[in-house]
């Protein structure tokens, strides 16, 4: 019962913290487009928050540069459990056009565990919403496993 309630609350309220690890700003604008009237992600209780302490979801954009690697790890550790990481854009998924650059240590899953990749340069808002839906599925799975372990 508790788990079911929990899933519902989580499904209806995902707070996202957005971290830019050296992206070109296109993915960041697409995230904002997802929140704007046309797609209105706030319908589903998704909103951007200003600090990782409030977040459930970490939206990471950009290939991880050398300089920001430690900060990404630190922000990931600041997010309270249970948490999800969604990588938005081709750079974060595969380092894209920055492959073999001397300044890049990415992709993102080199430094933090990633739950969902949303490829695209930049991905459309529909793709981002689809990615969030997949993240919910993953969250459900994590919670089922958690309840099994608890029992």
Q: What angle do CA 4, 81, 130 make, to 5 degrees?
A: 65
Q: Which of 4, 25, 32, 54 binds other proteins (CB under 8 A)?
A: 54
**Token pair in block for residue 114:** 């990633």
Give the dihedral sign, CA 147/112/28/88. Answer: negative
| 82 interacts with other proteins by CB under 8 A | yes
- The two beta strands, 84-88 and 116-118, are parallel
Q: Which of 4, 9, 29, 133 binds other proteins (CB under 8 A)?
A: 9
Q: Which of 1, 50, 100, 149 binds other proteins (CB under 8 A)?
A: 50
| 33 interacts with other proteins by CB under 8 A | no
Q: Which of 4, 25, 51, 70 binds other proteins (CB under 8 A)?
A: 51
Residue 2 vs 148, nearer CB to other proteins: 2
Task: For residue 65, give Cα distances in angstroms to 19, 46, 89, 136.
Answer: 13, 28, 15, 28
Helix intervals (H) in 25-124 = 26-35, 69-78, 90-94
Q: Which of 43, 102, 148, 150 binds other proteins (CB under 8 A)?
A: 43
Q: Which of 8, 67, 74, 141 binds other proteins (CB under 8 A)?
A: 8
Separation between Cα atoms, residue 115 and residue 131, nearest integer Å? 10
**CB 41, min distance to other proteins, A:** 9
- Using CB under 8 A, list all residues that contact other proteins: 5-6, 8-10, 12-13, 15, 36-37, 40, 42-45, 48-51, 53-54, 56, 78, 80-82
């Amino acid at each position: 019962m508790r788990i079911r309630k929990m899933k519902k609350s989580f499904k209806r309220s995902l707070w996202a913290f957005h971290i830019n690890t050296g992206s070109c700003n296109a993915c960041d604008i697409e995230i904002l487009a997802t929140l704007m009237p046309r797609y209105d992600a706030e319908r589903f209780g998704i909103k951007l928050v200003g600090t990782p302490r409030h977040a459930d979801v970490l939206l990471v954009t950009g290939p991880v540069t050398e300089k920001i690697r430690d900060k990404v790890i630190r922000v990931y550790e600041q997010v309270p459990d249970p948490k999800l990481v969604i990588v938005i854009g081709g750079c974060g998924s595969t380092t894209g056009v920055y492959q073999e650059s001397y300044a890049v240590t990415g992709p993102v899953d080199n430094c933090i565990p990633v739950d969902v990749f949303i490829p695209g340069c930049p991905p459309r808002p529909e793709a981002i919403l689809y990615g969030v839906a997949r993240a919910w599925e993953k969250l459900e799975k994590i919670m089922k496993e958690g309840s099994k372990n608890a029992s």
